[in-house]
Chain A
Amino acid sequence: MIQNADLFSIAKTGINASSRLLNTTSNNIANINSEGYVRERTEFTSRLNGGVDFGFTDRVFDVFAQNQLRRDTSLVGEAQAFYDRVEGLDRILASEANSISQSMTRFFSSIQTAADDPTSMPARDAIMGEAGGMLNRVTQLGDFIKSKEAEAELQIQQSVDRANDLINQIGDLNEAIAVVSGSSVVDTPSQLLNQRDQAILDLAEIVSIEVRNSPNGGSGLTVNLTTGESLVMADGSFNVFAVGGEPDFTNRELTLRTSFNSPTKGESSINIREESLGGGLGGLFKYREQVLEPAQRSLGKLSIALADAVNTQNKQGLDYDQQLGSNIFNIPEFRAINYPSNSDLSLGVKGRITPGSGADVSNNDYRVTVLNTPAGTPPTFDVEVAALKNNGSPQLDRDGNPITQTLTISAEPGVYNATIGGMEIEFARGSDYATGDSFLLQPAREAATSLSLATTRAEDWAFASPIRINGSINNLGDAQVTASRASNTVVDTSFANPNASAFDGNGGLQDITSSPSGSFGAPVSIRFTSENSYEVLDNSSPANVISTVNSASDLTNLIDQAKNSGTPAWPAEFSALTDYPGYDLSLQGRPKPGDIFTIEFNTNGINDNSNAVALGQLQQMDFVSQSNAGNSSRATFNEAYSSLVGFVGSAAATADVNLQAASVMQAQSSDWFESTAGVSLDEEAANLIQFQQSYAAAAQILSSAQEMFNTILAVAR
């Protein structure tokens, strides 16, 4: 090796080197609290002809630890976002005061108390109060969930904006680093690099990403989503997230849109699967799709089922004003959402829950598609109704097949066509609908927030049965009435409604002039001709025999038996209606020939509590559908609510465990990264002393060189 550098230059390089080392060390010490700072080290090699070469300052870190930290940060971001949101729901369900279960129990309790004393007005007022209170609880919880939904949408928007900022920033930094890298050979643009790494780490918290070196070589980094779509590309251009929602614009969905900003390349957009996003955004979407929307729909389903059950039972009774019972709760209608590809976006479809079908309502959304062009007057056409999950994918039944129904619609204003899922839909615009038009119906979504009381009058509670059965005092047998029930009280004296019953709407039962059949009035009495044969009579005088039953096997549901096996056959006009006359009775005991039992309207029968007892029994009955896949398992109201609580609770518990696990992992990888990249003050302190000494030593060379030079000069003089 040839060493022919002179002492001066060696000393100079030595001083420079030590000076640089001191510089680096001081930089490390000063920046110990800077976020994202990675410690730097300067490395020197010796020069061929003596002295120290320029050296290279570089950051010290373990790239594997860094990647691991990014992955774990994504996991924590996802778990944290999910947990924070779910915890809010969990907390609200924990509060006793909000407990819907308690208010439901109090409601039914108040009904039972009133059933014990049906004429007491204070007891009826109490029920109205409890019903209002229960409705408040439900709508409050519904509103809370709705506001959480809006909040989640806002947060998605915010996260998307932040992610876009970061993506832009990374792209800019890539360019800047490329420029600066070229301009210096002694160090890397460490500040820019740290900034870029910090931006990448922040982005990793929002979405799950993978970072690679640019394929062009050089200092650029490309950033992809873990699912493969690229965010920051090699040539500095990038994709940004866009938020839209189809068809429900309030439900945001993500796409990636390019922003080449180039005259030659056109922009394009890619759909992304939100559930595999990871990071905070992924957590938000998972929360919305797996917890928030199902919880919202379960609550809606429960409130529909409860309101419908109470309404139906109340309509089977007689209220304090001696009128047939009416609706207590108002289950509002819902409007369909147009798919953007529809021919005319001003077309609408309205839906409502079919009265009496509250138990068929599930959590599903429904897409209704027009299959052929409307024809005829009134216009009719076929539609397909398909059940969807809340994320838009088809709901499958037990066998894995999509749940669909094809039916023919009569498209007129005011005509509601019944479909699966307990709802009925109205196509009001007749022939304006075109083939291929699709509409999205979400019956259970808004139900909890928009339920209301249809009446506040305590007299509207129908506790009595609308009919009463009187055994004639002259009866010689010992038959007693065991059951009398009214199953249908729909009043329509024109019989245009196929559900019309025998109640004339005026405090009585139909006679021969007002019944659908011209030859008979409504059946109002049973006359026994022997112990097990009887005639069904109307209320004309003399009474017409509508039908006779011979050798009845038992005395239950006497009118039904006459419908099915009476001679002559039950009048066709009666059978044409779905449930006419809408009441029935059962006896037990042994009647003697000549015994008569009369059915009459329960005028002044205000002490009758039979419908009140039935209303109280609703608490025990299974009215809430438990499955979206179409099987018929049902649960009581309280069971449905407790399974909602359990669902949210276990989601929160799982989220908590996931968060803790992810936090531990992140702590570990952070420690690992920190152990190579972090500044240790003690180490830097030792370095300071070391480099001070080497600086002093190098400076000493200079003075030695100077002394040598002086010595030579002194010799030459």
Chain B
Amino acid sequence: MKLRSTYIGLCIALLATAVGCKYDIMEEDEKTVERDDFSNTTAYNLQIPPFFPPMDIPNGNPLTVEGVTLGRYLFWEKKLSLDNSISCGSCHAPEHNFSDSNRFSAGVGGTLGNRQSMPLINLGWAKYFFWDGRRATLEEQILDPVENPIEMHEDWDNVVEKLAQDTLYPPLFKAAFGSTTITKKRAAKAIASFIRTMISAGSKFDKQRIGQYNFTDEEYRGFVLYTTEGGSPDQVPGGSFGADCFHCHGFGDMQMTDGLFHNNGLDFHFQADPGRYMTTLNPLDSGKFKTPTLRNIAYSAPYMHDGRFTTLAEVIEHYNSGGHPSTTIDSFMKFTSGGLQLSATAKSDLIAFLNCLTDTAYLNNPAFRDPHE
């Protein structure tokens, strides 16, 4: 009898250990501590485009068809906002490269922020989120806008309550996580999964890389400018009258961004928005902002963290001027040597190349559109 009870006990221990390897335990601060059960889900077949790096998927949030489906509904769900007026997609519109054509997005009640909505594109490869990089994962990032008073201005507890009362969601959560229990972390996981599937790799640049497109002469000249050191050789050591884009908007991983933080000389002072400094409190980070991707840049206007430029021509003119000096300005800016000094033809060529980063199939992909419509 004693042996039998020991055996049963050991079986229970074995099962508990096995379950620990199969399930993701929710954080303790959740009202309901419950395990995610992915055992009945279908693995999402994520296609990594040529010359892209592998995408790291968090252990606790495997990419599943059910999770992505739920995430898509939640991304477009206006119940995430206080007055049920705004969804994620309200400020990240497909036709604007999943960004906002307004300089500052209007939150609940029309409240305006002070930063441009960032485009959502290939974020599965990003390391930092928001212009100041204050969140390290998509799952963390997604929690913020809901409770930000200048955005959705809602409380996650209320969101959970509203979703629980909507007949649509409990079954979707059950399919994705094994139970109808709705939590903010599950919601964030699902939206993160959806965003990881938002991959753009159909631009002329991508096609050229795999031998399916040849640049026009103008586009090629623009590409050469993109990858050439800037400035006059008389004033800048090594200057070659290039546009110097590649240093920060590198394409080694095809993302057209280094994912790091730079001060590109927009201002002399940064009291209005210290950028990365707000996260690190390192004075060397004052005025630095995350380098945005240039993919679909033609559809991302307005430009810069505060949307101060409305056209690509204005952006290029800023770099052409060299920018405003400051204690943290990036060494790539030619503020001491007269700027890039690009000719009118060079500027036109550069824009021709930047237009090669357009991927309209991505913008029009029905899989990313509002499923509620």
Are A and B bound to each other?
no
- Residues of chain A touching chain B, judged by Cβ–Cβ distance below 8 Å, are none
- Residues of chain B touching chain A, judged by Cβ–Cβ distance below 8 Å, are none
